[in-house]
């Protein structure tokens, strides 16, 4: 494909969704969601949060998994995958959805993809430790590797890395910041009846 063809037909589309935790950017190709990142600060968002996932995903040229020059902003309703993702995220924030039914295509290593697949098994309103997630993958000693994989999760919320906490129950690491992680966990606990 030539550069002219790429410029005329971007491979990725992006829609924006206002939520209680800030404006989210949802990036998808024609078949699946590839990324969710934060656009702005919100009531639950930590303004000091550094978002290396967003930088890795939406870099320019070879600097990112998704080249920002290859993304076009659209209204969600114009793109079937983005329309479904926006609707399901809105339902989640309204307390009307506990699971997502979206096609996903996260870019990562084989280990990262395994770790992310395990995240989808954590029930809404519950948390597990990084060690427990590593144990689900077959080796409790890989808790740090699991933490690093979760930190690289390109599709937070839908792939619920916010449901993983330290072995002492403390909140650690989240691309959206710890206040956002706390907000998401409280949002889920309040609606699930879990303490």
Q: What is the CATH number of the domain that holds 171?
A: 1.10.10.10
Question: Could you give the number of structural domains in the chain?
Answer: 2
Which residues form the domain of 155? 110-192
Range 143-156 average pLDDT = 93
Whether residues 81 and 150 fall in one domain? no
pLDDT at 36 over 80: yes
The catalytic position among 33, 161, 164, 175 is 161
The DSSP code sequence of 1-67 is --HHHHHHS-SEEEEEEEETTEEEEEEE-SSSEEEEEE-S--TTS-TT---HHHHHHT-SGGGSSS-
Q: pLDDT band at residue 78, thresholds of 50, 70 and 90?
A: confident
Residues 82-100 have a mean pLDDT of: 97
**pLDDT for 13 beyond 70:** yes
pLDDT, tens only, 46-72: 554 545 445 555 544 444 555 555 677
CA distances from 137 to 123, 134, 170, 191 (A): 17, 5, 22, 29
> Distance between CA atoms of 135 and 16, rounded to whole angstroms?
36
Is the same domain home to 84 and 116? no
Q: pTM here?
A: 0.82
Residue 100 is among the residues annotated as catalytic for this protein = no
pLDDT of residue 66: 58
């Amino acid at each position: 494909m030539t550069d002219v063809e790429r410029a005329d037909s971007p491979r990725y589309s992006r829609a924006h969704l206002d939520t209680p935790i800030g404006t989210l950017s949802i990036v998808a190709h024609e078949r699946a969601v590839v990324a969710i990142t934060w656009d702005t600060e919100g009531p639950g968002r930590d303004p000091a949060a550094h978002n290396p996932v967003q930088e890795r995903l939406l870099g320019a040229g070879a600097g990112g998994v998704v080249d920002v020059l290859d993304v076009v902003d659209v209204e969600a309703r114009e793109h079937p995958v983005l329309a479904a993702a926006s609707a399901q995220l809105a339902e989640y924030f309204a307390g009307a959805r506990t699971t997502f039914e979206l096609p996903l295509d996260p870019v990562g290593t084989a280990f990262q993809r395994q770790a992310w697949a395990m995240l989808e098994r954590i029930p809404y309103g519950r948390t597990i430790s990084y060690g427990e997630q590593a144990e689900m993958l077959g080796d409790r000693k890989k808790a740090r590797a699991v933490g690093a994989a979760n930190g690289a999760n390109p599709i937070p919320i839908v792939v619920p890395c916010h449901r993983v906490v330290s072995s002492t129950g403390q909140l650690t690491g989240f691309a959206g910041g710890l206040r956002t992680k706390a907000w998401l966990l409280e949002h889920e606990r309040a609606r699930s009846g879990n303490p």
